[in-house]
Structure 1
Amino acid sequence: MPTTDPRVDAYIANAAEFAQPILSHLREVIHAACPEVKETIKWSMPCFDYHGILCNFAAFKQHCAFGFWKAELLLAQEDDKGKEAMGQFGRITSVKDLPSKKVLTAYVKKAMTLNEAGVKVARPKAAPRELVVPDYFIAALEENPAAYEVFNNFSTSAKREYCDWLTEAKTEATRDKRMAQAVEWIAEGKKRNWKYENC
């Protein structure tokens, strides 16, 4: 008897009518190939765990998506339709859009072997976003030496919170109001979200 999660039952039941047979088919193939798989919900979609995340699927308004966590090690690059939609099988609108049960089973078994062996996929780290302090903010800080010194001693993330707050202002009046508040708080040694730090 497969280990199912009632939240996955609800997810399939609440999916669009075209999606229900697709999701049910995928679920059946996954459980048949990997009887020890555990269902859960992660990132608001059904995920299947076996010694770590194995695969997941999702239903959208007009298509479904299905993918393996370690797809780079499972599918040939030319077979990966990840550019068309989430997952590796493109926009799935019917069971016919999926590989055969035999091919899907082979993918699941290979994914199981990778997870059992603890194989990791090297995921590229995003380059840190460069901190850009607007000239008008530097000028305002320089007028208050205490604030200027405190700001220069803040971490990059603390500086970025203030800069983002200012640059996201829709009008110059809002920006100027925020800037005056920012200089006051910084002079007092307060980070942008200081009110929530001790909550």
Structure 2
Amino acid sequence: MSAHDPRVDAYIEKASPFARPILDHLRALVHAACPSVQEDIKWGMPSFQYGGRILCQMAAFTQHASFGFWQHAAVTEGKARDGMGSLGRLETIKDVPSKRELTALLRKAMALIDEGVTSTATRAKPAPRAALKVPADLRDALAGNPGAKATFDGFSPSARRGYLEWITEAKREDTRARRLAQAVEWMAEGKLRNWKYAKAK
């Protein structure tokens, strides 16, 4: 594969007019900082690879462009992502860091690859979801229908939560009563809350 991939040319050509100069500029900076970089298209967007690994990527959207380092956390020293890549929302070339600044970041990303560093991202463990209590009306309804109760008791926590949230989030009493009756009926038939959307096996 040549250093410049025609698919990247096509991607830039199809981008919104405001985004083309930004993408061209970013592409030029990447090649200047890393002459051996190879271009590719991954996940539908231009990707730059170095040493057989992804160095960075760029993309164009309706009203902004973005640029991100594959090892974002290590390159940016833990700077939080804001959903706009590693450089934030890019609407004009003025939003792109200076050549000197971006070159330094690119060289840092290259050094991580040279050193064999893999992923340095630290993912925070999601907070455990609070267990939902079975409301009295559902508990009483299940007590009066052994089949529904057996199904409910055999559900996984997420399957139980599906019914519990559906019932407890009803804003009107009559809506809640209808959902409660429907839930018991479905559970008596061994059905999950969203059984209609389950893929047929």
* Shared fold, TM over 0.5: yes
Q: Following superposition of structure 1 onto structure 2, how do residues 84-163 of structure 1 map, counting pairs within 5 Å?
A: 86-116=84-114, 117-120=116-119, 121-133=121-133, 135=135, 136-163=137-164
Q: Secondary structure at the match of 2:25?
A: helix
Q: 1:59 touches 1:65 (CA, 8 Å); kept in 2?
A: yes
- Summarize deviations over 1:42-100 as a string: whole Å, max 9, x none: 3x6444455554323333444322222322211256xx5855x6223233222232223
Letter in 2 for 1:141: L
Scaled by the length of structure 1, the TM-score of the pair is: 0.74
Q: Distance in 2 between matches of 1:28 and 1:103?
A: 14
Structure 1 residues 185 and 29, CA gap change in structure 2 (3 angstroms): same
Q: 2:71 touches 2:109 (CA, 8 Å); kept in 1?
A: yes
Structure 1 alignment gaps of length 5 or more: none
Q: 2:39 touches 2:46 (CA, 8 Å); kept in 1?
A: no
- Identity rate of aligned residues, in percent? 45
Letter in 1 for 2:144: E
Q: 1:34 touches 1:112 (CA, 8 Å); kept in 2?
A: no
Structure 2 alignment gaps of length 5 or more: none
Number of aligned pairs?
194
Q: Distance in 2 between matches of 1:4 and 1:168?
A: 52
Q: Distance in 2 between matches of 1:98 and 1:110?
A: 17
Q: 1:65 touches 1:92 (CA, 8 Å); kept in 2?
A: yes
1:19 equivalent to 2:19? Answer yes
Q: Give the structure 2 partner of residue 192 of structure 1.
A: 193
Q: Give the structure 2 partner of residue 69 of structure 1.
A: 70
Q: Distance in 2 between matches of 1:69 and 1:168?
A: 40
Shift in Å, 1:186: 1.6
Structure 1 residues 38 and 158, CA gap change in structure 2 (3 angstroms): farther
Structure 1 residues 53 and 188, CA gap change in structure 2 (3 angstroms): farther
Scaled by the length of structure 2, the TM-score of the pair is: 0.73
Q: Secondary structure at the match of 1:138?
A: helix
Q: Calculate the aligned-residue CA RMSD, in Å.
A: 3.2
